[in-house]
Structure formats: structure tokens, C-alpha cells
Amino acid sequence: MNLLIIPGLLLSLLVAGAVAYLITARRYNSANSVATSYDEWTQDGILEFYWGEHIHLGHYGSPARPKDFRQAKYDFVHEMVRWGGLDRCPPGATLLDVGCGIGGSSRVLAKDYGFEVTAVTISPGQVARASALTPAGMSAKFMVDDAMALSFPDASFDVVWSLEAGPHMPDKAVFARELLRVLKPGGRLVVGDWNQRDDRYQPLNFWEKPVMQQLLDQWSHPKFSSIEGFSELLEATGMTRCRVETADWSQETLPSWLDSIWQGIIRPQGLVKFGFSGFIKSVREVPTLLLMRLAFGSGLCRFGMFKAVRASDAASALGHR
Ligand SMILES: C[S@@+](CC[C@H](N)C(=O)[O-])C[C@H]1O[C@@H](n2cnc3c(N)ncnc32)[C@H](O)[C@@H]1O
């Protein structure tokens, strides 16, 4: 009998989710909708309740092994710091977190690594929530800013960090340029992002096209880059020293998708806390989470890591790398 409860629950969630998903269709329409979506997702508190203060995937090790969902997210930040060589930066180095959510990563970077963090998001609601979650005296400050036209002068930061913000950017070339523009010569850029397989070499097939379209429409994504395409865009700015280094962390992050759905089952208090409308809002994300699992598991999507060092101004002006 007990053996039937969990599959039964999963099936009911999937059916309820599919119905809610179909009757509340979403389409990406503008950068404005990104800000509005994050404001709403922040205001109702549902995303924070299930995902915690880190709105990004977890790192489950290589090879991936079972882990606590929230711990995996903290671990991701530490893995990204190590992979990017940021643990060798001196305390007090300045860091810009582009697309900071409600500041989960920013606080780890300030508290555990001593960075002076400035963190930006397009969502005023996230700035308010991030500021409320940040203890007084912590060196992390939050502001509304658009990654497509950052308000900082050239060469402002020792480090630029961006985690899972890229798919929201309407123009990836502008995003690449802005990330490097505000970095000081010799400064480090580290980016972690959802990407699509490079379709210049293997075009999307009959089932991949509609799946990709759903992944774009559901969570306010104008477009995903490919790992190859975005590293080419970074290099094309002429502002990187040497080649951009990349890695594929799809396998390390893959358990996050099903773990997200599992949170809804093992934390039923959410049902009471957010009521019936909260239940519908949460459950409508189940099909998208499953499509994400399918896409990242099949190679249609890839979790891309990028690191680069900003060239000196003289070299970039000459277009040398
Ligand atoms: C998936 S969340 C990642 C949040 C955060 N990096 C984290 O790891 O918790 C994407 C973030 O990108 C931000 N974002 C999207 N478009 C943006 C833009 N044009 N300028 C600045 N931030 C943007 C969103 O507001 C959100 O904070």
C-alpha cells in the first residue's frame, strides 16, 4: 500500500501540474517581463520557500551523488569560486554579482571569501528582499541595474561574477561586452549559465524545437546561448587575455531538477503556507522542471562554465588576446 503512495503522489502532481500549465500559458515578451516575473516570484515567497535564498542549481559532485538540495546550492558557489580561482583573491577585492537574485551567492562571497560585493538585479523586489536578508555590517550591497547597460564606469571591479542570469539577456553580445567592460585589467570573470547545444553543428530536431520553445517561454528567457557561442562572444570583445576557458557541469547539476520537485513532496507545509493558489502556482512548474531534466539529461541543454581574465587596456585596444 505504502509503495503506491509516492508514485500516486508524483502522478497526481504531474497531472495537476500539466492542467495548470496548459490553462495558464506563458510567453516571453520583453525584458520588462523578466523584472515583473522576478518581482512576483519574490513577493509571494514560494520560490524562496522551496529553493531557499539561492536561485540556482546545486552541485552534486563529480560524479553526482545524493545530497541535501540546499547544501548542494551552497556547494555550487564554493565550487564556482574554486574553479574560477577566486579563492586566491585578496580579502577586500571588489566583486560585481550580475543577476544576483535575492543575494544567496553574494552573501557567501562576502562572508566566506571577504569580497566587497556589489550585486545587481533587474527586479526591485529582489533588491528589497536581498537587502532584508543581509545582516548589517556584511560587505554586500544590492541595487537595481540592467546587465544590458550597467551603470558602472569601465574597469570598476576586480572580479565579475554571474550565475544563471545569461538566459534572460536579450542580446548575448552586449551581455558579454558589459561583463568585461566593468572588469579591471587583470581582473577575473566567472560565469555559470544554462546553455543550449550548439545548433550550428547539430540543428535541433523535431522534438527538441518545441521543448526548447517551452523552456524559453516558461521562465522569461529570450534565448539560450551555446557554450561555444558565448565563449566566442566573450573573445570577440577583444577584452580577454588568452582564451576563455569553459567547462560543462551538466552532470554535476543534473539532480537539481528532480530534487526541486521532491521539495514539494517532502515539504507539504508549503501547501498550508501558500494556500490553494500557491499550490497551483507551484504545481504548474512541475512540467517545466521535467522538461529541463529531459533537456539537460539528453544534451539539448548544457550547464556552461566560463572563466576569463581581462586584458590590459593597451592590448584590448589593439584587439590582442
Ligand atoms: C535565475 S536568477 C539567478 C539569481 C542568482 N544569480 C542566484 O544564483 O541566486 C536570474 C537573475 O538574473 C536577473 N536578471 C535577469 N535579467 C537581468 C538584467 N537584464 N539585468 C540584471 N539582472 C537581470 C534576475 O532578476 C535574477 O536575479
pLDDT attached to residue 275: 86
User: Is pLDDT at 142 greater than 50 in this prediction?
Assistant: yes
Instruction: Kindly report, residue by residue over 28-71, the tens digit of the pLDDT.
Output: 565 558 999 899 999 999 999 999 999 999 999 999 999 999 99
Output phi, psi for 303, to 5 deg.
-85, 110
How far apart are alpha carbons 316 and 114 in whole angstroms?
29
146 lines ligand 1 (CB under 6 A): yes
- CATH topology for the 2-318 domain: Rossmann fold (3.40.50)
Atom of ligand 1 nearest to the CA of 53: 9
Task: State which of 100, 108, 129, 182 you would mutate to test the pocket of ligand 1, scoring each by most atoms of that ligand within 8 A of its C-beta.
Answer: 100
Output phi, psi for 52, to 5 deg.
75, -165
Mean pLDDT of 180-206: 97
177 lines ligand 1 (CB under 6 A): no
What distance in angstroms lies between residue 20's CA and the mean position of ligand 1's atoms? Answer: 25
96 lines ligand 1 (CB under 6 A): no
Q: Is the pTM of this model over 0.75?
A: yes
Other beta carbons within 10 angstroms of residue 297's beta carbon come to: 14
Mean pLDDT of 281-299: 93
| Rg, the chain, Cα only | 20
Domain boundaries, the chain: 2-318
Place 316 in a pLDDT band, splitting at 50, 70 and 90.
Answer: very low
Other beta carbons within 10 angstroms of residue 320's beta carbon come to: 11
User: Is pLDDT at 16 greater than 70 in this prediction?
Assistant: no
- Altogether, the residues listed in the chain come to a count of 321
Place 319 in a pLDDT band, splitting at 50, 70 and 90.
Answer: very low
